[in-house]
Amino acid sequence: MVETAGVKLWLKRESELSKLMSEYSTEQQDVFERHYIEICLAQGYRSLVAGGRLEPTQDPPHLFAYYNAAVAKGFHETLNATGKTKHAGRIRQALRQTYGFAALLTEYRLWTTGLELNCDVVPIDFNELGNFDFLWLQEEDALEIECKVLTQDYAATVNRSSFNRLGRVLESELRRLLLPGTSQILFLDLEEDLPRRDTDLAALANFIFEFVAGAPASPPNYVRALRKEDFAAGHADPSLAHSEARFITLLHGHYTLAFHNEQAGVVVAISGPPVSAERFSARLLRKLKEAADQLSGQRPGALFFETEGPSPDRPVNLAFQKRVEGVATQLFAQRPHLDLVILGFAGPPFSAGRTHAIPNRRRKRKNRSVLSLKLERFMNAPPIAASAVNLFRDFQTDWWRHKYRWEHKSQRDVAKAALDYRKRREPGSG
């Protein structure tokens, strides 16, 4: 896979990502979870070149990276000459994209799913035989499939670029942020998105420095509410600021930045402005229509939409699922050839996640494609539980227990966090 893209290009990208993680601790986790394919395969390639073999590993990121490399190789071998050239170009494109391989991994997933259901899977788009991604064939039955990924930036309430730049400004003056003996969590609720200009982000950072120090300061006019909480566990171990930040991200739905040294630890937690439910639904409907229009309309079709990255929490996933079901109902009325819309939800990073199939109930089951019925059964996992307690259990296992160090948390903490989060969410917010 590395050689298909070009060794020099791949190793250069891995070097850029490693440099970014080493320079800015606030971006280490985000960069690694989004770009583990690039990083782990570069490390594996160097190991192969140096010793002729891969070192055995039980590390989830490397296992997932190696698995997807094997899938990519198998997929590449099924393509015609045009498809192979296009696939190599898509791999190189993924190396340049801020969301990495998310889109390609979504397509690989539907290719392997078709094989698992004993279909002949024709890669239509790659082989330039049409506009949609795959044609599944089984005996006399056929199903057209179009795949899309909803990146972390889709309908985000906080601009990721501005958020990352704010983290860099804060990290550049840690002496003003990490005052000896400090263990605090700062919550900022925004009325509007973070500013884009560096001078405005610097002004916000300066306000945060003064707020931590307890100095009188007026927040920028786009800050709707703010509060400061003592983080008791951080007084004994300031490094727990990072595990607390992850906890707040997953169970409170905030964007978080965490900093610590031997004497202090600080978490900055930011929540974006409420998103209009109507506006979000309109945007999502446009996205679904664009995907449906790639299908020929001559055969039954299905759309697969996968969300990128760890979802904030299960209650949010459940709300999103219901929102999409409502939008899909409108889509089915306008695109009668569409049998199915499938949502793919990310679970904890480097886990399989889950899926939910939304059938076109305007079509009687006897008139639907047999393949779409098989795909619906295959994709319909048990319903999302509307409790964040289950999510906490997911992240308390194996690799994640070591990574996030939540031993000081209890199920009661999780239930309280979920309750507080739901109380803060405004009716109709996205």
* pLDDT tens figures, 237-292: 999 998 888 888 777 778 899 999 999 999 999 988 876 777 778 888 899 999 99
Residues 176 and 148 occupy one common structural domain: no
Please check whether residue 391 lies inside any domain of the structure. no
Read off the pLDDT of each residue in 182-186 and give the average, rounded to a whole number.
95
What is the structure's pLDDT at 340?
94
Q: How confident is the model at residue 386 (pLDDT cuts 50, 70, 90)?
A: very low
Whole-prediction pTM: 0.81
Residue 37 to residue 331: CA distance in whole angstroms? 34
Q: Would you say residue 2 has pLDDT above 90?
A: yes
331 in the same domain as 255: no
Given a cut of 60, whether residue 311 has pLDDT beyond it is no
314 in the same domain as 269: no
Q: State the pLDDT at residue 161.
A: 84
pLDDT greater at residue 385 or residue 24? 24
Residue 426 has pLDDT above 50, yes or no: no
Q: What is the mean pLDDT of residues 108-131?
A: 95
Residue 12 has pLDDT above 80, yes or no: yes
* Domain end among 220, 243, 274: 274
| 173 lies in the same domain as 318 | no
**Helices 60-78, 81-96: crossing angle, 10 deg rounding:** 150
Residues 119 and 40 both lie in one domain? no
For every residue of 178-246, DSSP letters joined together read S-TT-EEEEEEEESSPPPSSHHHHHHHHHHHHHHHHT---PPPTTEEEEEEEE-HHHHH-GGGHHHHHH
Asked whether residue 234 carries a pLDDT value surpassing 60, the answer given is: yes
**Stronger pLDDT, 412 or 130, i.e. the higher one:** 130
Domain count, the chain: 3
Supply the angle between the helices 60-78 and 36-51 in degrees, to the nearest 10.
90
Q: What is the pLDDT of residue 356?
A: 86
Least-confidence region, from 89-93, 182-186, 217-221, 263-267: 217-221
Q: 296 and 144 in contact (C-beta within 8 Å)?
A: yes
The pLDDT of residue 81 is 96
H/E element, 358: strand 354-359
Question: Residue range 312-318: average pLDDT?
Answer: 54
pLDDT of residue 248: 84
Question: What is residue 385's predicted lDDT score, i.e. its pLDDT?
Answer: 47
Q: Is residue 430 situated within a structural domain?
A: no
Q: How far apart are CA 161 and CA 167, in angstroms?
A: 10
Whether 41 shows a pLDDT value over 70: the answer reads yes
Asked whether the predicted pLDDT for residue 107 surpasses 70, the reply is yes
User: Where do we find the tokens 């990490």?
Assistant: 178
Domain assignment present for residue 228? The answer is yes
Q: What is the pLDDT of residues 328-371, one digit of tens each?
A: 999 999 999 999 999 887 766 666 677 889 999 888 888 888 99
Is residue 60 domain-shared with residue 136, that is, in the same domain? no
Q: Is residue 426 a part of any domain in this protein?
A: no
**Residue 312 pLDDT level (bands cut at 50, 70, 90):** very low
Q: Is the pLDDT of residue 180 over 90?
A: yes
**In-domain check, residue 427:** no
Last residue of a domain, one of 223, 246, 274: 274
Pairing of strands 301-307, 338-345: parallel
Predicted confidence (pLDDT) at residue 22 exceeds the cutoff of 70: yes
Answer yes or no: do 131 and 268 share one domain.
no
In a domain, 45, yes or no: yes
Same domain, 132 and 50: no
Instruction: Answer whether residue 395 shows pLDDT above 70.
Output: no
> Residue 118: is it exposed, middle or buried by C-beta count within 10 angstroms (0-12/13-18/19+)?
exposed
Q: Determine the pLDDT at residue 354.
A: 77
Same domain, 210 and 119: no
Distances (CA, A) of 71 to 16, 78, 109, 113, 115: 25, 11, 9, 11, 12
Determine, yes or no, domain membership for 400: no
**Average pLDDT value for the chain:** 85
Residue 388 has pLDDT above 60, yes or no: no
Domain that holds residue 258: 160-274
Q: Are residues 242 and 215 in the same domain?
A: yes
Residue whose entry in the numeric block shows the structure tokens 């070009």: 6
Residue 66: pLDDT above 50?
A: yes
Q: What kind and span of H or E run contains 137?
A: strand 134-138
281 and 265, same structural domain? no
> Which residue, of 62, 80, 97, is where some domain finishes?
97
Same domain for 287 and 316: yes
**81 lies in a domain?**
yes
